[in-house]
Amino acid sequence: MSAIAAAIARTPLESWIARRLAVSEPSLTRESIARHQLKALQETVAWARNHSSFYAQRISALPAGLPASLREVSRLPFTSPEDLARHTTGFLCVPQHEIGRIVTLNSSGTSGGKEGDNLALKGMMSPGDHIVVSAIEHSAILSTCAWLEHLGCEVTRVGANGDASTYRISRGRCGEVTRVGANGDGQVEPDSVRRALRKNTRLISIMMANNETGVLQPVEEIGKIASEADVWFHTDAVQAAGKVPISVKSIGCDLLTISAHKIHGPQGAGALFVRRGTPLRPQLHGGRQKKGRRPGTENVAGIVGLGRASEIALGGLSDGSVLWMQALRDRLEAAILSLVPQTRINGKNAPRVPNTANVLFERVGGDALVMALDELGIAASRGAACTAGDADPSSVLMAMGLTGEQSRSGLRFSLGKMNTADDVERLISVLPGAVQHLREASQFFSTAPEAANG
């Protein structure tokens, strides 16, 4: 029996928590993923025992569903979903008067960042409204905007050079969607957002950190632009959470999305901060949970995991673990540029989260390199995990000015807090050979037909 299997088999409580616990932050080796799962499990079990008699003694006796309606449960510490959400407010530096404005998002396998983004956009937009987004947003934002477009929108795309082109899709009631491009470093220019505003602009949605390149966006400047124009502002902070400090007050946002699994919490849980007075319409109906903003039976286990993960992540910003990730990332990038010819770091000149490296490998198919590394025990991706298997070029890299072929040759390496220097050195030792092998194979197949004809 493996160490993890032995750990989760000890008690019904530990087994229950283990089933709820998952780690999705990409790591470099399968061994490091296993190490993190075991440590996260042990920490969660210890915390549950020390802080909540509800979980240690009564979990098996409670009926399923409606924990918020049980008077006995509401009196116990750390058991009410409303109380558990308070842990997240400290992580986001939420002002005291805004505590309680966290909408926890939880359901089996679907919730977190995507639900938060969908709720923020669909809950704020109405027919005739205009929204401004960037071309480098996560598919959760862009796909939601596409849904709005299908209702009939005039779409304006502002490219990286500031030029604007207008395409009338169809006549309808929805309103208008403006996509703002990024510069060559993958950063949205605030003036482009300002120029895109219109009289009927209702919402601006710009991510805090890009999920493919890790490039941080100037959300505080954009927040000021939104405030001056009296426009609501949403930011997707899923990729930034736990890696850089987040303050909803400093950003000036009205809505902010995070996901638990990106801070080593349980999958299927997340949160949407909603500033007091923001007229967010619920997209689900039939319950008064979370004051009607997101009705449905609370996933208490997911909320507990999110709250605890937020506490740990907040401590990680000052205990050196984030700087450790950055040191490993910088070591990896320097080695790749030194040992592998025809490579470059996408977004290198822009501020980035400390764990993400997006590398362009010229003359190498990104999907082929991902598979080659997987055979060597290395986990990497060509883009967002949500689009794994998609053969299309990266829309993020193309928005930065890369060609379609180059956009298919970019790889994302994401480091976690549990990665070690040995993990990075292992990758450095096998990567040059894998790239060289694929380049030689590519050259052979491209020249073989000519040789046959000759």
Report the catalytic residues.
386
258, 305 contact by CB (below 8 A): no
What span, in angstroms and rounded, lies between the C-alpha atoms of 425 and 250? 38
CB 113 within 8 A of CB 185: no
Return the closest-CA partner of residue 410 out of 211, 162, 180, 159.
211
Pairing of strands 410-414, 356-361: antiparallel
d(CA 113, CA 273): 12
C-alpha distances in Å from residue 364, one per residue of 275, 344, 411, 435: 46, 13, 10, 7
Tokens of 100: 């309680």
The number of residues in the chain equals 454
Q: Which residue has the tokens 């959300």?
A: 219
Residue 14 one-letter amino acid: E
Task: State which H helix or E strand residue 160 sits in.
Answer: none
Taking CA atoms, 411 is separated from 83, 213, 400, 428, in Å, by 40, 9, 15, 14
| Cβ-Cβ contacts under 8 Å for 13 (sequence gap 6 or more) | 45, 48, 49, 55, 56, 59
